[in-house]
Amino acid sequence: MTAPEGPTRAALPDALSQGCGPLLAAGATAPGSQPRPLRQVLFEHVRAQGSTTRAEMGRALGVSGASVSAVTAELIAEGFLRETDASDPFESDSPRTGRGRPPVALQVAAEAHHVIGVKLGDLRHTAVLSDFAGRRIADLTLPTRPIRKSAPMLVAEARALIDQLLAQQGMGRAQISGIGLGMAGMVDHASGDVPWSPMLDAPGHGLRAQFEAALGLPVHIDNDANLLTLAELWFGSGRGTSDFAVVTIEHGVGMGLVLFNQLYRGARGLGMELGHTKVQLDGALCRCGKRGCLEAYVADYALAREAATALDQHASLAESPLALLEDLFAEARRGNEAALSIFRRAGRFLALGLSNVAQIFDPEVIILSGGRMQFDYLYEREVLAEMQAMTLTGARAPVRVEIHAWGDLVWAQGAVALALGQLTEALLGAQPARPPLSA
The DSSP-derived string for 367-416 is EEEES----GGGSSHHHHHHHHHHS--TTSPPPEEEEEE--TTHHHHHHH
Which of the residues in the chain have pLDDT under 70?
Answer: 1-17, 24-33, 87-102, 313-321, 370-379, 431-439
On whether both 282 and 167 belong to a single domain, the answer is: no
Decide which of 81, 111, 141 is a domain's last residue. 111
On whether both 196 and 277 belong to a single domain, the answer is: no
Is there a domain that residue 437 lies in? Answer: no
On whether both 414 and 401 belong to a single domain, the answer is: no
On whether both 300 and 370 belong to a single domain, the answer is: yes
The DSSP-derived string for 101-155 is PPPEEEEE-GGG-EEEEEE--SSEEEEEEEETT--EEEEEEEE--SS-B-HHHHH
Pairwise CA distance, residues 122 & 117, whole Å: 17
On whether both 63 and 180 belong to a single domain, the answer is: no
- Condensed to tens digits (0 to 9), the pLDDT of residues 394-422 reads 878 889 998 887 778 999 999 999 999 99
On whether both 243 and 212 belong to a single domain, the answer is: no
- Residue 207: the pLDDT is 98
Domain of residue 82 covers: 14-111
Pairwise CA distance, residues 423 & 218, whole Å: 9
Is there a domain that residue 436 lies in? Answer: no
- Condensed to tens digits (0 to 9), the pLDDT of residues 86-145 reads 765 444 444 445 555 667 999 999 999 999 999 999 889 999 999 999 999 999 999 999
- Residue 27: the pLDDT is 46
- Residue 323: the pLDDT is 79
Q: For position 181, which CATH number holds?
A: 3.30.420.40
Pairwise CA distance, residues 361 & 260, whole Å: 13
Q: Which residues contact 16 (CB under 8 A, 6 or more apart)?
A: 90, 135
This prediction has a pTM of: 0.86
On whether both 323 and 393 belong to a single domain, the answer is: yes
Pairwise CA distance, residues 230 & 193, whole Å: 20
How far is residue 223 from each of residues 183, 193, 220, 259, 389, measured CA to CA in Å? 5, 11, 11, 17, 31
On whether both 299 and 191 belong to a single domain, the answer is: no
Q: Is 332 helix (H, G, I), strand (E, B) or coil?
A: helix
- Condensed to tens digits (0 to 9), the pLDDT of residues 161-189 reads 999 999 999 999 999 999 999 999 999 99
